[in-house]
């Protein structure tokens, strides 16, 4: 037997603490813990960002959990959906709609070369469509129309198999291959089947479980070699409504009314003890090929599976310390561990300071107000407050105040009084966004740490927008003017505004954190008395979903970065001021250091 040194190229070393950056294959003896250690493989499911579309039974395809697509599905049945969303590993973004609304369809391929086929409209469909990463084109139809169909392979070399015909108890064994242009009938499966798991490529696929007849769940497992079907070892437990991913020799099966996952190594099935977090998930993104299945009705849930030498902790919001005073329509800045919040409904002049766990009262503003603007990216010890309004809501303010870490001081005023104003930047280089004086404003003003000067005008006048970024690279998002809710997004370069990608949903009174090319927008109001927990990420080009907040609010204070954000106070749907704080932490990855034995 070869020695460890010969295999790896180094000896097992004795250390008192784990190495900072261990390498794959490296092992060491930690004398402090008395254990032999190295990098171990970990398998785990984690929650991903929810889809924007609520859908039951979507068709899902893609290569890896950083490049997946979900399309079709129903909500509620029997209405077929055309909605399509792309997944980038962090969240979902809206893409081009498919030509035919359908559910119980199948899809194969990659994020930039996909194939959707079959399903119900509610009539059983034979239609197929090709996807290029942003739009759909109608392709040639299946020879046999089917719903509850499955498939595997690529857009240029796909397989469609099983399903049901016009009658729900009519299971099909038909198999067809797609060559990038048309479908050809090939060797049928040994038995008719539906709602099974399928994965692999056209010349090496695997089909598992399903329903071969009404009210019968199967444990069958069948291989396809591009010509023939061959039975292999049965699944330990029969089931239907399965999702599958992987290859013919390294396949995974999930769902079937359970959160149990089965793993196939080419010879036997095993249950590795890693279960999906939510067996009611209607959508699961997996490392390999994403899978889809409908369990307990329409959902937006996403889960990711990773098998690697890294431990991945999903992005999430968590509860922080509550403010001492309920502050609605408030402003703030700073970081997740050093935040500041000031002003609020009922003409409050309160200031509170956050240390990462609790809020303490700080020096009061000289002018109490609400609907004020802030330099969102300013630190806790150099905050800026400008504009706003005092009751009865028509006395617009132009006062500007700076905070130096110990007190607020009056500075030169804004050129005009503005309420429900937004802003971004630093105390010495800030930008005000829109607002309302005697009309909705498209104006922006720039602050240099001493005085204000006119900046570029936005294309869309607005108040109650969300802002973040720096003076030379800022964002204005949503808001309202005579239109009650805006989806318009504009980007500022230090002198002029250009249109950015619109929000997926028109929103006002949202909060934001980050910079122009890496921003978060969260909470807000999307219809009368409807506030949301929605969180979206912006990469400078497109919007995608992020994990939702726990508490729905509007007009709160946002602070921090896209991976370490803070949302504080605001108001609920009825306008009642809140004290809640939530902290957002982005996805993190760490090396999985494991203990080993010599046995």
Q: Per-residue DSSP letters for 1-57?
A: ---HHHHHSSPPEEESS--SS--TT-EEEETTTTEEEEE--EEEEEE-PPPSS-BBS
Lowest mean pLDDT segment, chosen from 65-74, 110-119, 480-489, 526-535: 65-74
158: in domain? yes
User: Do both 439 and 511 map to the same domain?
Assistant: yes
User: Do both 467 and 424 map to the same domain?
Assistant: yes
User: Do both 330 and 310 map to the same domain?
Assistant: no
What number of other Cβ atoms are within 10 A of residue 243's Cβ? 29
Residue 113 has pLDDT above 60, yes or no: yes
- Which residues are CB-neighbours of 334 under 8 A, at least 6 positions away? 340, 354, 378, 379, 380, 383, 559, 560, 566
User: Do both 239 and 361 map to the same domain?
Assistant: no
Lowest mean pLDDT segment, chosen from 168-182, 390-404, 480-494: 168-182
User: Do both 187 and 305 map to the same domain?
Assistant: yes
In the prediction, which pLDDT does 9 show? Answer: 59
User: Do both 220 and 158 map to the same domain?
Assistant: yes
Of 287, 314, 341, the residue that ends a domain is: 314
Strands 422-426, 525-527: pairing kind: unpaired
488: in domain? yes
Of 314, 347, 371, the residue that ends a domain is: 314
502: in domain? yes
Domain count, the chain: 3
In the prediction, which pLDDT does 281 show? Answer: 33
Residue 77 — pLDDT band, cuts 50, 70, 90? Answer: low
Q: Residue 13: give the domain boundaries.
A: 4-39
**How many residues can be counted in the chain?**
599
In the prediction, which pLDDT does 295 show? Answer: 32
Residue 63 — pLDDT band, cuts 50, 70, 90? Answer: low
Decide: residue 237, CB within 10 A, 0-12 exposed, 13-18 middle, 19+ buried: middle
- Computed over every residue of the chain, the mean pLDDT equals 91
331: in domain? yes
**What is the arithmetic mean of pLDDT over 88-99?**
95
Model confidence pLDDT, tens digit, residues 305-358: 888 888 888 999 999 999 999 999 999 999 999 999 999 999 999 999 999 999
In the prediction, which pLDDT does 36 show? Answer: 85
In the prediction, which pLDDT does 46 show? Answer: 82
What number of other Cβ atoms are within 10 A of residue 55's Cβ? 26
Contact 291, 70 (CB under 8 A): no
Of 314, 343, 365, the residue that ends a domain is: 314
Q: In sequence order, what DSSP letters do the residues of 80-134 get, joined into one string?
A: BB--EEEE-SS-EEE-PPPSS-BBS-EEEEETTEEEEE--BSSSB---EEEE-SS
Model confidence pLDDT, tens digit, residues 244-296: 889 999 999 987 777 888 999 999 999 987 777 654 332 333 333 333 332 33
Backbone angles phi and psi of 7, in degrees to 5: -75, -40
Rounded Cα gap, residues 250 and 267, in angstroms: 10
Tokens representing residue 483 in the block: 């239109």
In the prediction, which pLDDT does 575 show? Answer: 95
In the prediction, which pLDDT does 7 show? Answer: 54
For the ranges 236-250, 285-299, 359-373, the maximum mean pLDDT occurs at 359-373
Lowest mean pLDDT segment, chosen from 229-243, 337-351, 468-482: 229-243
Tokens representing residue 189 in the block: 């499966």
Lowest mean pLDDT segment, chosen from 296-300, 438-442, 587-591: 296-300
Residue 2 has pLDDT above 80, yes or no: no
User: Do both 136 and 238 map to the same domain?
Assistant: yes
Lowest mean pLDDT segment, chosen from 232-236, 284-288, 544-548: 284-288
281: in domain? yes
Contact 147, 120 (CB under 8 A): yes
What strand order describes the sheet that includes 331-334?
A: 331-334, 339-344, 348-354, 359-361
What number of other Cβ atoms are within 10 A of residue 170's Cβ? 15
Residue 97 has pLDDT above 90, yes or no: yes
User: Do both 246 and 364 map to the same domain?
Assistant: no
Rounded Cα gap, residues 150 and 439, in angstroms: 57
User: Do both 289 and 431 map to the same domain?
Assistant: no
User: Do both 377 and 511 map to the same domain?
Assistant: yes
Residue 213 has pLDDT above 80, yes or no: no
540: in domain? yes
Residue scoring higher pLDDT (17 or 443): 443
What number of other Cβ atoms are within 10 A of residue 218's Cβ? 22
593: in domain? no
User: Do both 34 and 73 map to the same domain?
Assistant: no
Model confidence pLDDT, tens digit, residues 21-49: 787 777 888 888 888 888 888 888 888 89
pTM > 0.85: yes or no: yes
594: in domain? no
Nearest to 69 by CA among 102, 96, 99: 96
Rounded Cα gap, residues 226 and 159, in angstroms: 9
SS (H, E, C) 487-556: CCEEEECCCCEEECCCCCCCCECCEEEEECCEEEEECCEEECCEECCCEEEECCCCEEEECCCCCCCECC
Contact 111, 67 (CB under 8 A): yes
User: Do both 48 and 30 map to the same domain?
Assistant: no
Rounded Cα gap, residues 404 and 390, in angstroms: 24
Q: Is 315 left (phi over 0), alpha (psi -120 to 50) or beta?
A: beta
CATH number where 369 lies: 2.120.10.80
Lowest mean pLDDT segment, chosen from 74-78, 120-124, 165-169: 165-169
Residue 461 — pLDDT band, cuts 50, 70, 90? Answer: very high
Residue 111 — pLDDT band, cuts 50, 70, 90? Answer: very high
Residue 222 — pLDDT band, cuts 50, 70, 90? Answer: very high
Residue 297 has pLDDT above 60, yes or no: no
In the prediction, which pLDDT does 293 show? Answer: 30
In the prediction, which pLDDT does 194 show? Answer: 92
Residue scoring higher pLDDT (525 or 17): 525
Residue 1 — pLDDT band, cuts 50, 70, 90? Answer: low
């Amino acid at each position: 037997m070869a020695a460890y040194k010969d295999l790896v190229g180094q000896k097992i070393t004795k250390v008192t603490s784990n190495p900072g950056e261990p390498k794959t294959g490296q092992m060491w003896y930690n004398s402090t813990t008395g254990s032999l250690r190295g990098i171990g493989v970990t398998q785990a499911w984690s929650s991903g960002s929810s889809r924007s579309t609520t859908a039951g039974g979507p068709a899902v395809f893609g290569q890896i959990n950083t490049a997946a697509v979900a399309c079709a599905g129903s909500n509620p049945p029997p209405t077929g959906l055309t909605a399509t969303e792309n997944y980038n590993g962090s969240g979902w973004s809206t893409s081009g709609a498919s030509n035919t609304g359908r559910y119980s369809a199948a899809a194969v391929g990659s994020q930039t070369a996909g194939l959707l086929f079959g399903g119900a409209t509610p009539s059983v469909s034979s239609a197929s469509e090709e996807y290029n990463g942003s739009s759909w084109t109608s392709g040639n139809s299946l020879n046999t129309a089917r719903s509850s169909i499955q498939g595997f392979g690529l857009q240029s070399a796909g397989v469609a198999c099983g399903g049901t015909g016009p009658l729900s108890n009519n299971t099909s064994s038909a198999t067809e291959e797609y060559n990038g242009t048309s479908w050809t009938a090939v060797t049928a499966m040994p038995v008719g089947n539906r709602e099974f798991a399928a994965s692999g490529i056209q010349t090496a696929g695997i089909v598992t479980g399903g329903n071969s007849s009404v009210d019968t769940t199967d444990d069958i497992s069948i291989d396809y070699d591009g010509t023939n079907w061959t039975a292999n070892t049965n699944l330990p437990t029969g089931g239907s409504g399965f999702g599958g991913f992987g290859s013919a020799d390294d396949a995974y099966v999930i769902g079937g009314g359970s959160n149990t996952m089965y793993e196939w190594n080419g010879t036997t099935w095993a249950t590795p003890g890693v279960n999906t977090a939510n067996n009611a998930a209607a959508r699961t993104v997996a490392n390999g090929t994403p899978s889809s299945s409908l369990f307990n009705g329409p959902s937006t849930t996403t889960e990711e599976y990773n098998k690697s030498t890294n431990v991945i902790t999903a992005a999430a919001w968590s509860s922080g310390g509550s403010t001492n005073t309920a502050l609605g329509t408030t402003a703030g800045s700073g970081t997740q561990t050093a935040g500041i919040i000031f002003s609020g409904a009922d003409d409050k002049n309160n200031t509170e300071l956050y240390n990462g766990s609790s809020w303490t009262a700080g020096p009061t503003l000289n002018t109490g107000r609400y609907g004020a603007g802030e330099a969102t990216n300013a630190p806790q010890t150099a905050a800026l407050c400008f504009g706003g309004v005092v009751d009865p809501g028509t006395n617009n303010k132009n006062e500007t105040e700076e905070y130096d870490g110990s007190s607020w001081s009056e500075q030169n005023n804004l050129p005009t009084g503005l309420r429900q104003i937004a802003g971004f930047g630093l105390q010495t280089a800030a930008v005000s966004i829109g607002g309302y004086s005697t009309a909705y404003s498209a104006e922006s003003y720039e602050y240099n740490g001493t005085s204000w000067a006119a900046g570029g005008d936005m294309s869309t006048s607005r108040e109650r927008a969300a802002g973040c970024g720096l003076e030379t690279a800022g964002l204005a998002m949503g808001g309202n003017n005579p239109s009650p809710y805006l989806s318009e997004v504009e980007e500022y370069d230090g002198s002029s505004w250009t249109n950015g990608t619109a929000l997926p949903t028109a929103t006002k009174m949202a909060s934001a954190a980050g910079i122009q090319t890496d921003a978060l927008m969260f909470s807000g109001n999307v219809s009368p008395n409807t506030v949301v927990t929605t969180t979206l990420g912006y990469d400078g080009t497109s919007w995608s979903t992020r994990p939702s907040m726990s508490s729905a609010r509007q007009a709160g204070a946002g602070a921090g970065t896209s991976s370490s954000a803070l949302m504080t106070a605001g108001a609920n749907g009825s306008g009642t001021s809140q004290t809640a704080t939530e902290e957002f932490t982005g996805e993190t990855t760490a090396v999985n250091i494991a203990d080993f034995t010599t046995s």
